[in-house]
C-alpha cells in the first residue's frame, strides 16, 4: 500500500515568489493536515482539510493557504515568500482525522527561500 506522497522533495525559491506543494494521501484517507518544521519553531500546525473543506487552521498569516480536491489530494500554497518560510513542510493523512485511526506522515518537502 502506497504511503503519503509529497512532491517535490526539494524546492528552492526566491523571496517574493510563490510556491505550491502537493500531498497525495494514502488511498481512502479523507483527512489531510499540513505542518511546518523549522529548527527555531519546531513543528507547527498549518491547517487540516477533510472532504475538500478546511476544518481547522493554525496561527499562520494569510499568505499560507491550501485546498483539497475530490480525490483527497491536497495542495499548499505560500505567496510572497519570505526567508523565514524556509522549512520542511510535512503532510499527514488519516481516515477521518479522528485520532483513533492515527496519522501517517509523508517525507516532506524541503523549501529553501533565498
The site for another protein (CB under 8 A) is made up of 3, 31, 33, 35, 42-43, 45, 48, 55-56, 58, 88, 90, 92, 94, 97-99, 102-108, 110
Nearer to another protein, 33 or 78 (CB): 33
Minimum gap (Å) between residue 80 Cβ and another protein:
25
Grid cell listed for 86:
524556509
Minimum gap (Å) between residue 16 Cβ and another protein:
27
Minimum gap (Å) between residue 77 Cβ and another protein:
20
Nearer to another protein, 34 or 85 (CB): 34
Minimum gap (Å) between residue 61 Cβ and another protein:
18
CB 44 within 8 Å of CB 57: no
Nearer to another protein, 12 or 17 (CB): 12
Distances (CA, A) of 63 to 23, 66, 88: 18, 10, 17
Across the strands, what pairs with 20?
77
Nearer to another protein, 22 or 104 (CB): 104
**Longest pairwise C-alpha distance within the chain:** 41
**Three-point CA angle 43, 96, 74, nearest 5°:** 60
Grid cell listed for 59:
496561527
Amino acid at each position: 500500500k502506497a504511503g503519503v506522497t509529497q512532491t517535490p522533495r526539494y524546492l528552492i525559491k526566491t523571496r517574493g515568489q510563490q510556491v505550491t506543494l502537493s500531498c497525495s494521501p494514502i488511498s481512502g484517507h479523507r483527512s489531510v493536515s499540513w505542518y511546518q518544521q523549522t529548527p527555531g519553531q519546531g513543528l507547527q500546525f498549518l491547517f487540516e482539510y477533510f472532504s475538500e473543506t478546511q476544518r481547522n487552521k493554525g496561527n499562520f498569516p494569510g499568505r499560507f493557504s491550501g485546498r483539497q480536491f475530490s480525490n483527497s489530494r491536497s495542495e499548499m500554497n505560500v505567496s510572497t515568500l519570505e526567508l523565514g518560510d524556509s522549512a520542511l513542510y510535512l503532510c499527514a493523512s488519516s481516515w477521518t482525522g479522528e485520532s483513533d485511526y492515527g496519522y501517517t506522515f509523508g517525507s516532506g518537502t524541503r523549501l529553501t527561500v533565498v
